[in-house]
Structure 1
């Protein structure tokens, strides 16, 4: 059955903690892949998109449902810029799995370092399939398309993003908070990007890419990406350890 799409209000709520570290592997909180412009002819990425499944995480009674801003989170996202090599601006959008008394799930966007994350977009729940597209439009404006493919609901809007760099196209799992919630694994698919104002397009595995493994401060592996799946234009990311 084909589900009719329905646009819904984004209902933004500004977050209190940033996702973006703007330091990539040196922060140790990324797992996934990224295409770096510096490894691909110094192009400038201006569009990126991907789909993934929202993982089901355990709840945590130490954090009330109303205290979700401070609770441990795992974020799946796609975005433009912010790699270790560029240490520059990052525009990104994704989903957050939030370990509160009843686990919560939300879409979010972030224009870093200009603004903290904004939790906005359609309702999303565990085991939903989502699609996210991020496009830099010029004039310090980035458009976002956030879709819950399971329900057919989506939100489409633009945010101010003065620090965009286009230095990379990113497909990432990231942690925020006291520990990395056990998301077991998630599957990224249809990972693609556009560069140089639409003059070039391709799937992420058709260019040179960097692999990111999430580690704690002692170098212990927390999450890692699997091998490239060319049939899916994607890959899986697997949980290994909370800290």
Structure 2
């Protein structure tokens, strides 16, 4: 559906109607209402180059506000496709499914093929060194740079890591800081959240999204979509 929406936006943009934006909201009946502009105050930007975005966000969580990202997580087919895997990893490693979803949204925007300039790979953006540390003996038979592109291996590896960091640091905020900045950085800051702007912003974004997802755990997802024409 997201790919179809992107095509719809491009077509609308080519006609001069909009500048590559998608706005949406989900009503009380679980119907997703989608439009190429903000029809009224209920609509939130999901895709596009409105203020706060750059029009080509490969990783929505890096730029979108929590409310827009929440809506995207409800309607994006790549997110729905990973739901069984996230539940499986959450049960296997004792990590909330919502936390896994929040980390993936912020780290890769659910792009399983994402590779960062620093060499972090896949959905949870795990480096090969870290991947080897948290791999099973069977997984180590395949090079980390290859196996971490497998969504199942990537998510299970990340879930093991999150569970381990949370146990050792006694709090999800510091665990996320160690995930982002490295355990050495956290140790140098006395085992507390480092006073590093990038790390604090990362932790805040993941925690905000995690909390919002927990609140919406019982909420009904979109069952239907209605499109509003471009003005």
TM-score (norm 1): 0.25
TM-score (norm 2): 0.26
Q: Normalized per residue, which structure has more strand? A: 1
Identify the structure with bigger relative contact order (alpha carbons < 8 Å, sequence gap 6+). 1
Q: Normalized per residue, which structure has more helix? A: 2
User: Which structure would you say has the larger Rg?
Assistant: 2
